[in-house]
Amino acid sequence: MVLFAFIFIILGIIGTFFPKVSWYISEGWKFKGAEPSTAALIIARLGGVISIIMGFYLLTS
């Protein structure tokens, strides 16, 4: 369970602080020369924050 918590936290940090990397890993690789929209970056950041919260929840439970 601890391993999953750390994976969630690491992916959350990437999504929060580097949303373009998160977007590229999930969607950007499918398109040549595409750039993420502002909405996609906001969603990546929110997903990162939620992932960090879930990771800390898994560590404490």
Model pLDDT for residues 26-58, shown as the tens digit of each residue = 888 888 888 999 999 999 999 999 999 999 999
Nearest to 16 by CA among 53, 61, 59: 53
CB 52 within 8 A of CB 2: no
DSSP-based three-state secondary structure for 36: coil
Q: Please state the pTM of the whole predicted model.
A: 0.85
Model pLDDT for residues 13-27, shown as the tens digit of each residue = 999 999 999 999 888
Q: How many CA atoms lie within 13 A of 8 on its CB side?
A: 17
